[in-house]
Amino acid sequence: MKFFEVLSSEDLDGIHAATLEVLARTGMLIQDADARERLEAAGCGVRGERVTFPADLVARAVESSPAEFTLCGRTPEHDCPLVPGRFYTLSTTGSPFVIDHETGERRHALVKDVADLTRLVDALPNTHMASPATPKDVEPEIVTPVRVATMFRNTTKPLRVAVESGDEVRYSLKIAAAVHGGMEAMVSRPQLQISVSPLSPLTLSGDSTRALMVAAAAGVPLGVIPAPIVGATGPMSIAGTLVQQNAEILAGLVLAQVVNPGAPILYEPRPTVMDMRTGQSIWGNPEVALMSVATAQMARYYKIPGSVTAFGSSARAMDDQNGFERALTLLPAAQSGANVLASLGAGDNVIHTSAELIVLDDEIMSWVTRFMRGIQVDEDALGVAAIHEAVMGEGGFLALDHTRKFMRASEVWTPRLSDRRNYSDWDREGRPTIQQHARARVTEILATHVVEPLSDDIEREIDEVIAEARADLNAK
Percentage of the chain beyond pLDDT 90 is 95
Quick check: helix, strand or coil at residue 50? Answer: strand
Domains, the chain, with CATH or none: 66-231+261-373 (3.20.20.480), 379-408 (no CATH)
CB 106 within 8 A of CB 95: no
How many CB atoms are closer than 10 A to CB 211? 28
Nearest to 117 by CA among 159, 174, 177: 159
Q: What is the pLDDT of residue 177?
A: 98
pLDDT digit string (tens) for 132-165?
Answer: 999 999 999 999 999 999 999 999 999 999 999 9
Q: How far apart are CA 347 and CA 114, in angstroms?
A: 16
Q: What is the pLDDT of residue 93?
A: 84
Each residue of 133-151: b (16+ CB within 10 Å) or e?
A: bbbeebeebbbbbbbbbbb
Q: What is the pLDDT of residue 28?
A: 98
pLDDT digit string (tens) for 354-404?
Answer: 999 999 999 999 999 999 999 999 999 999 999 999 999 877 899 999 999
Angle made by CA atoms 408, 414, 318, in degrees to the nearest 5: 160
CB 205 within 8 A of CB 199: yes
Residue 346 CB contacts under 8 Å (≥ 6 apart), including other chains: 92, 95, 283, 311, 312, 313, 352, 353, 357
The DSSP H or E segment spanning 308 is strand 307-309
| Phi/psi of residue 263, nearest 5 degrees | -60, 135
Find the mean pLDDT for residues 458-476: 92
pLDDT at 475 over 80: no
pTM of the model: 0.95
Nearest to 411 by CA among 383, 378, 374: 374
Each residue of 319-339: b (16+ CB within 10 Å) or e?
A: eeebeebbbbbbbbbbbbbbb
CB 113 within 8 A of CB 366: no
- The alpha carbon of residue 404 and the mean position of all alpha carbons in its chain are separated, in whole angstroms, by 37
- Kindly indicate the confidence band of residue 309, based on its pLDDT and cuts at 50, 70 and 90: very high
Q: How far apart are CA 450 and CA 460, in angstroms?
A: 20
The DSSP H or E segment spanning 344 is strand 340-344
Residue 64 CB contacts under 8 Å (≥ 6 apart), including other chains: 257, 261, 262
Each residue of 247-268: b (16+ CB within 10 Å) or e?
A: bbbbbbbbbbbbbbeebbbbbb
Q: What is the pLDDT of residue 222?
A: 98
Residue 89 CB contacts under 8 Å (≥ 6 apart), including other chains: 126, 127, 128, 129, 310, 340, 341, 342, 344, 361, 362, 365
Q: How far apart are CA 452 and CA 449, in angstroms?
A: 10
CB 362 within 8 A of CB 344: yes
pLDDT digit string (tens) for 241-293?
Answer: 999 999 999 999 999 999 999 999 999 999 999 998 888 999 999 999 999 99
pLDDT digit string (tens) for 19-62?
Answer: 999 999 999 999 999 999 999 999 999 999 999 999 999 999 99
Q: How far is CA 175 from CA 144, 168, 184, 199, 474, in A?
A: 11, 11, 13, 27, 18
Q: How far apart are CA 186 and CA 177, in angstroms?
A: 5
pLDDT at 234 over 80: yes
End-to-end CA distance of the chain: 53
Kindly write down the DSSP assignment for every residue of 106-124, as one continuous string: EEE--HHHHHHHHHHHHH-
Q: How many residues does the chain have?
A: 476
Q: What is the pLDDT of residue 140?
A: 93
Q: How far apart are CA 310 and CA 171, in angstroms?
A: 30
Q: How far apart are CA 243 and CA 287, in angstroms?
A: 15
Quick check: helix, strand or coil at residue 215? Answer: helix
Averaged pLDDT of the chain: 96
Find the mean pLDDT for residues 235-244: 98
Q: How far apart are CA 394 and CA 404, in angstroms?
A: 17
CB 245 within 8 A of CB 200: yes
pLDDT digit string (tens) for 420-435?
Answer: 999 999 999 999 999 9
Q: How far apart are CA 188 and CA 249, in angstroms?
A: 25
Cis before residue 269, ω within 30 degrees of 0?
A: no
- Kindly indicate the confidence band of residue 476, based on its pLDDT and cuts at 50, 70 and 90: confident
pLDDT at 1 over 90: no
Q: What is the CA radius of gyration of the chain?
A: 24
